[in-house]
Structure 1
C-alpha cells in the first residue's frame, strides 16, 4: 500500500513569495503611473524655436529619408557636436510618418508628438532602471550576504528604492530635458549611462557573490555596449566610469585598484572620446574665457546653484543668465563658489559615518564636472547653468532619498517623503505647460530672467512667424541692446524690417550679421532676396552663391539662386538648382512652382505640368490652382483651366488675378455674362483696377461684335 503524504504548496505559492512578487510589481506600476501623470501633456506640445529647428525641422539631413543622410551623422559632426545616435533617432522619428505612408512623394513633416512621446518613453525607462540600481545598492549595503531578495523582511527596500526613483522622475529640474525635443540627447545619454551602471554593478555583484546562476561576462559586455551608446548620444558620458567606480566602491567596498581591473577599458575610451570632442569643437566661438584662477569658483557657484534648486524648486527657466562675467562681477561668488568645497571637506571628515552621503555627493558632482565651467563651453555665453545638465546627476539625490527611507523610523521618513514628492509633483505639473509652444515658453523665460537675450530674440522670432512684426522688431532691438554682437538677432531683425518694406534698413542689419559671422548662410541668401527687391540682381546672385558655398545642402538658397538665374534667361543652370533644391527637400512647394514657371517659359509643358501638379498636391492653395490653370490655358485646355480657376476662386474669393484670367477665358468662349460677373467682382474689390476696366471694355466689345455678326 502506498503511503500518503500531506500536500504542500510550492514556494511560488507561499504568501511570503506572493508578497515579495507584488513588492516588485507595485513599485514599478506606481513609478510608471506617476511619471506619466506628470509628463503626459508633453505629447501634445509643439516644437520650440530653441534648437528644435536646427536639430529637427530645419535640419537639412532630415528632409529626405536616405542612408547617405543617416550615415552623415556617423561620419561628420553636426553643429560642432558628434552625437550620431541622437541624430539617428531624430531622423527615424522625423521620417516615420513618411515611411509608414504609401505616398512616396509626400514631404517630410516631422510630428512633434512622436518626438515628445519618445522623450517620455526614454525617461520612463531611465526611472525604472534607476529603481533597480537603487534596490541593488540598498540590498548590498543593508544585507550584503543576500544575493537576491527572498524574504518579506527585505520588502521595505523595494519601496525605499521606489521613493528615490520617484524623486528622479518628477523633480521639477527634470522637466526641461523631458519636455524639450532637443533635450533628447540628455535623455538618451542618461538612459544608456544608467543601463551601463546597472549592468556593471550586476557584473561586480555576480563576481563578488558566486555560487548562484550568474553571467558576469554577459553583464560586462552589455555594460560596455551601453556605455558606448551613451557616448554616441552625448560626450558628457565620459564621466560614467567614475560614477560606476564610486557606487561599486561604496556598496562592495572595492578599492580603486580593484575597480581598475574592470574599468580600465572604459577609462581609455573616455580619454579618447575627450580628445575627439575637443577636436570636433575646434573653432567654437567662446564669448568669454574666464581666467584659470576663477574657473574653480565658477564651477563651485554652479554646483551651489543646482543644490539651491534641488532644495527650493522654484523659478525654473531655460536661461538663467548666469554667465562667467555675471558671476565674476558679484562679490557673493566667494561665498557661493566656496560653499561646495567646504561641504566636500565636511563630507571627507565624515566619510566613515556618512559614506553613503559622500558617494551620492560624488556622483552628483562628477556628472556635472564637464559642464561646470572648469572647462569653458559654448553655452556659457548665455549661462553656465542649465536644468538639463542635472538630468543624470539626479542619481545622487535619488540615492540619498532612497537611503533616508530605510532609516529605522520608516513611518516618519515615509510620511515626509510623500509630502515632499507631492510638492514636487505639483510643481512639475505646473512647469510642464510652459513648454507647450514657443511663445508661451519664452514669455515664461522672460519672467524668470527679464534680461534673457535668448528669450527676447526667440520670442521675437515666434511673433514674427505669426505676422506680428512690429512687436517682433521691438523685441529684437531689446535683445541687441543686451547682446549687440548677435548675428542671429541682426538677421532676424532684418527679416522683420524687410517684411515691413524697410529694405535699406534691413540690408544694413543683414550686412552687420555677415560682418560678425561671414559664413552665415541664411543671412547671405536673405540679403540676396532683399537686394533683388531693389533691383540689384547681380549682387543678389553673388550672395546666393556664397550661401551655397558655405552650406551646399541649403535647399532655400538653391531655389533662390535658381529664381534669379531664370529671371535672366539662364534656364539650364536655374533648373540645376531647382533640381538640387527638390533633391534635398522633395516637398519644397516653391521650388516645384518656380521649376514649373521656368519650364513653361521654355514650352516644356509636360514637365512644367508635373511640377505644378506636384505643388498642388503638396499644398492645394488658390495660387497652386491658378498656376496650373495658367499652364493649361497655354495648352488650349480650356475646360481643365476653367475648373482650376474656379477652384482657386472658391478657395480665395478675393483672388483678383484668378477672376480676371477666368473672365478672359469665359469671354473667349462666348460666355459674356459669366465673364462680366468675374471682372465686376474685381472692380468691386478694387474700383480703380485699370486692367479690370480694360478687360471689361474688351468683353463689351466682343459681346457687341458677336451680336452684330449674328444679326
Structure 2
C-alpha cells in the first residue's frame, strides 16, 4: 500500500531508535561539546559595532523603558512608528538581552555565554534532526553536526552579540521543522522510504507557534513555514502530489495535505500582515551604498549581480576564507555585462543545483531534498527576490542556510563511503581536515570580534575597497582621540565613495577650520539633503559664526524632517538658550528627554542649561541621571563637579572628577581636575597635573587644556612658560579671543604693555565681529589698563568709557576712569565715577580715599583767602 496521511501503518512496521543511547548519545555529546569549545575564546569579547546601539544604548535592554514598549519598538529601541525607525522587529531577542541585563547589567561575558550556549543548543537540535527525522547514520549525523558546530561563517552570529537574533531564530526554526515532522510522526528511513502515522494536531499547532517565535527573533525565521510546506509536498507526500498534478487524479488521500497547506498559508498571511502593519505599511528606506545593485537602472546588471551574489554566498559557505563584518558598497563590484567572467561561477552554481535536483527527482533522495530546502528557502529574504534589502552580503544570515550545506556534505560523504570502501581512509582524512580547518578558522575569526579596533582593522584587510569599513575605523580613531588618523581614514572613505554623505559629515566634525567643516557639511547635504546630523552640525556651525538665523533655519529643517530627533532638540534648545529664549529652550531640552528617556546626552545637556541659569541642584540631578544611564559618561561627571563647586560642595566635586579620571585617563579629564584645583586655590596641585600632561596637550594641540595650563602658569608666576604655551595656542587658533586676552595679560605682567596692547586690539576685532558684548567690555577694560600703564591717559579714558557704555556695572573701570578725571582736574566727573564705584562695591577703599581727597580740595576752594 502506498503511504498516505489517512492510513495508520502497523506498529510493527515502524522502526523506533532511541538516539539518546549508545552511539546516538555520543553524537549529541560530541557535537555540542565541540560547538562550545570552538567559541570559547569569544567570551572575552566586548560590545562592538552594532552591539553598542542595540544593547548598550538601548533603553529596552537596560530596563529604562517599560516591558510593553519592547513590543512597539524596533531592534534599536526606536518606536516603529517613527520615520527614522529601522523597521526591524525582534522583540524576543531584545527580551533575551533584557534578561541578560537584569542578571548582570552590561557585563559582556554573560551575553557571550548565552550566545555560545544557544549555538550549542542549535547544534544539538540540528544533530537530533539529522538522526531522528532525516535518519542519517550516526556517523553522518556527527559529521553534519560537527561541520555546523565549527563553521567559520557563524562567527558573526555567535561572537557578535547582536547575532543572537539569528541564533535564537535558528533554534525556533529547527523546533518548528522538528514538530512539523513529528506532527505526522514521519521519519526518513535509511532506505529513503517513508513511514508515518496519522497526524497529531497539537504538534502541528506547536510547529506554527515556533515559526511565529522564530520570526519574532528575526524576520527571516518566518521562512520555516515555506520550508515545512515544501518538505510536506516534496518529501512526505511526493506520491500524492504526483497523482494529484501529473496524473490528474484526486482522491481523499490529498485532503489532509491540502488542509495543512491552507493552515500554513493562513499563518503566513497573518504574520506578513502583522509585520506590514507594524512597519506602517512601508518598507524601511535604504541608501544606494547599502545595496548598490538594487539601485542600478539596468535590469541586466541587477539580474546578473543578484544571481552572482547567491553564488558568492554559496562560496562563503563552501570556502569561508575571506570573511568580513560588512560587505556593502563596492566590496563586491557589480556584474554589469555578460562578458564578466564571474558569470561562469553563477552558471556553474545553477547547473550544480539542477544536477542535484534531477538526482532527487529520479532517485527520490530525501536527505538531499531536505538539504536543498534548508540551503535555499531561508536565503530567499536576503536574495532581493521579494524586496530590496539593506545589504549586499550578510554572513550572519547564512546561519540557517549553512545547515543545508552541512547536511548535503555529510550525506554526500556517507554515499561515497558506501560506494568506495577502499578509499574510506582518504575520505576520513579529508573530512577531518575540513572540520579541523573550519575550527581553526573560527577560533582565529573569534578574535576579530574582541573589540572595535580588531573588528574594524579586520574589515580594512578583508574588503579594502569598502568605504564603510574606512569610515567605521575613522569613527573609532575619532573616539580614541587620534584626530589626524581619523581625518586620513575619513578622506579615504570619501575617495572610495565620493557621494558618501555620512563620511562627509564625519569629516566635518573633525575639521578645526570652520570653512573646511562647512564645506564638508555642505557636501554631505548635497549628496543626501535629508541628512539630519549634517543639518544639525551645519546649523550649529553657522550659529557659532554669528549667523543666528541661518543656524536656526538649518535646525528647523532638521525638525521638519524628524521632530522626534533627540539630538536636534538638544541643539535647538542650546541655540534658543543662547538667544535668551529660556522658556522655549527648556521645552526642547525636556522634549529630548521625553523622546529618548535613555539618552544620557539629553540629561547632560539639560543639566548644562540648568547650570547656566543658576539652578545648580537641578543641574546636578540631571547630570547624575546621565551617568547613571551611562556609567562611562565622563562629561556629565565633570559638569556635575562644576555645579557642586558652585554650591560649595568641594569634596563631592573632587571625588567626581577623580572618578572621571579613573574612567578616562586622558588629557581632557585631567585638565578638568587641574582646572578644579586652580579655581579652588590649590595651585600647586593644579600645576603638578598640568606638568604631567603638558606633552599630551602640546602634541594634540588641545586648545582648551593649553589655555587652562597657561592660567596655572600665570598664577604660579611662571610667566615666560605661560608666554610659550599661549604662543602655541595662537599658532593653532590665531583668532582665539580668550588666548589673545590671556597673552595680553601675560605681556602686561612682563611689563611689555605695547605688545600686550597689540594682542588686545586683535582680540577686540574678533569679539566685535562675534558680537559678544560681555567679552568686548572686558577686552576694552584690558586695553584701557595697558594704555594707562603706558601713561596714555586720554586714550585709556576713552577705552574705559567704551567699556562702561557696554557694561556700566564695573567698579574697577569706574574707579580708574574717576582717577583719570581726577588727574585732569575734572572733579565733578571724577566724583561721579567714584560714587558709582561705591554703589557697586561699597568696600572699595581706593574710591573712598580718592573721594575724600576730592572733598578736601573742595573745602580748600570754599575757604576765603586772606586779602
TM over 0.5: yes
Structure 1 residue 30: deviation in Å? 2.0
Q: What residue number does 1:122 align with?
A: 118
CA contact (8 A) 2:159 2:446 kept: yes
Find the aligned partners of 1:521 and 1:32 in 2 and give their Cα distance.
47
Q: How do residues 305-704 of structure 1 correspond to structure 2 at under 5 angstroms? A: 305-320=312-327, 321=330, 323=332, 325-326=334-335, 328=337, 331-351=340-360, 352-353=362-363, 355=365, 356-375=367-386, 377-380=388-391, 383=392, 385-403=393-411, 404-405=413-414, 407-408=417-418, 409=421, 412=425, 414=428, 416-497=430-511, 501-583=512-594, 591-611=602-622, 623-624=638-639, 626-633=641-648, 640-641=649-650, 644=653, 648=657, 655=673, 657-663=675-681, 683-684=717-718, 687-688=722-723
Gaps of 5+ in 2: 1-15, 188-193, 245-253, 662-668, 685-710, 724-741, 751-811, 813-844, 846-867
Structure 1 residue 224: deviation in Å? 0.3
Structure 1 residue 119: deviation in Å? 2.8
Structure 1 residue 343: deviation in Å? 1.9
What is the DSSP-based 3-state SS (H/G/I as helix, E as strand, rest coil) of the residue aligned with 2:268?
Answer: helix
What is the DSSP-based 3-state SS (H/G/I as helix, E as strand, rest coil) of the residue aligned with 2:618?
Answer: helix
Find the aligned partners of 1:223 and 1:273 in 2 and give their Cα distance.
14
Find the aligned partners of 1:47 and 1:629 in 2 and give their Cα distance.
33
Q: How big is each residue's C-alpha offset from its partner over 1:540-563, in whole Å with a ceiling of 9 and x where there is no partner?
A: 334344434434443333332222
Which residue of 160, 165, 173 corresponds with 1:193? 173
CA contact (8 A) 1:76 1:82 kept: yes
Q: Cα–Cα, structure 1 residues 477 and 606, in superposed 2: closer, same or farther, change >3 Å?
A: closer
Find the aligned partners of 2:607 and 2:28 in 1 and give their Cα distance.
58
Structure 1 residue 253: deviation in Å? 4.9
What is the DSSP-based 3-state SS (H/G/I as helix, E as strand, rest coil) of the residue aligned with 1:65?
Answer: coil
What is the DSSP-based 3-state SS (H/G/I as helix, E as strand, rest coil) of the residue aligned with 1:379?
Answer: coil
Q: What residue number does 1:177 align with?
A: 157
Judge which range, 606-615 or 456-465, deviates more: 606-615
Which residue of 176, 179, 182 corresponds with 1:202? 182
- Tell me the TM-score normalised to structure 1 length: 0.77
Give the count of matched residue pairs.
634
CA contact (8 A) 1:459 1:472 kept: yes
Q: How big is each residue's C-alpha offset from its partner over 1:24-78, in whole Å with a ceiling of 9 and x where there is no partner?
A: 43322222221111212223222333x4455344557667322463232277367
Structure 1 residue 182: deviation in Å? 3.4
Q: Cα–Cα, structure 1 residues 224 and 682, in superposed 2: closer, same or farther, change >3 Å?
A: farther
Structure 1 residue 198: deviation in Å? 1.0
Q: Determine which structure has greater relative contact order: mean sequence separation of CA pairs < 8 Å that are 6+ residues apart, divided by chain length.
A: 1
Q: What residue number does 2:268 align with?
A: 270
Q: How do residues 178-327 of structure 1 correspond to structure 2 at under 5 angstroms? A: 178-205=158-185, 216-249=200-233, 252-254=236-238, 255-256=240-241, 258=254, 259-271=257-269, 279-281=281-283, 283-286=285-288, 287=292, 288-289=295-296, 291-292=298-299, 297-320=304-327, 321=330, 323=332, 325-326=334-335
CA contact (8 A) 1:93 1:114 kept: no
Find the aligned partners of 1:399 and 1:646 in 2 and give their Cα distance.
60
Q: How big is each residue's C-alpha offset from its partner over 1:374-425, in whole Å with a ceiling of 9 and x where there is no partner?
A: 4562435xx3x33223211112122224433475359645554333212211
CA contact (8 A) 1:304 1:340 kept: yes
CA contact (8 A) 2:166 2:399 kept: yes
Structure 1 residue 657: deviation in Å? 3.8
Find the aligned partners of 1:302 and 1:596 in 2 and give their Cα distance.
50
Find the aligned partners of 1:552 and 1:440 in 2 and give their Cα distance.
37
Q: How big is each residue's C-alpha offset from its partner over 1:442-468, in whole Å with a ceiling of 9 and x where there is no partner?
A: 222222222111211111111111112
- Tell me the TM-score normalised to structure 2 length: 0.64
Q: How big is each residue's C-alpha offset from its partner over 1:259-314, in whole Å with a ceiling of 9 and x where there is no partner?
A: 44323322344356557559431654454246445555434423332333333331
Q: Cα–Cα, structure 1 residues 528 and 94, in superposed 2: closer, same or farther, change >3 Å?
A: farther
Structure 1 residue 340: deviation in Å? 2.4
What is the DSSP-based 3-state SS (H/G/I as helix, E as strand, rest coil) of the residue aligned with 2:584?
Answer: helix
What is the DSSP-based 3-state SS (H/G/I as helix, E as strand, rest coil) of the residue aligned with 1:572?
Answer: helix
